[in-house]
Amino acid sequence: MDLETFLPSNPLAKDYEVKQRPEIDPWNLNEITFIRLVRSDCLINVLNTSVEVKPELMHTYVEATVCINDHCLQIRQDGRLWQTSEFIMPVI
């Protein structure tokens, strides 16, 4: 297989810069957010757990937010909530 097979369809530009750092609330210990690339099999890996996401998100980056107290996982892209599912935190 060639390299283009593995590249996302909309990668970040090489000159992409974060203009403003996100505000982090040090007292909010309920959420952990991960940035993940959705593979061609529509899976992402969060805390050693494979999670299936909607096919529309294939080959794009998503935010996967684990809500610890609610035991759920929220999948967002560009601020839009795409799906929510139960997520029991694995003991590692």
Contacts of 91 (CB under 8 A, 6+ apart): none
Taking only the tens place, the pLDDT of each residue in 11-63 is: 667 777 767 766 666 676 788 899 999 999 999 999 889 999 999 999 999 99
Query: What pLDDT is stored for residue 30 in this prediction?
Result: 83
pTM here is 0.67
Query: What pLDDT is stored for residue 8 in this prediction?
Result: 61
Helix (H) or strand (E) holding 26: none
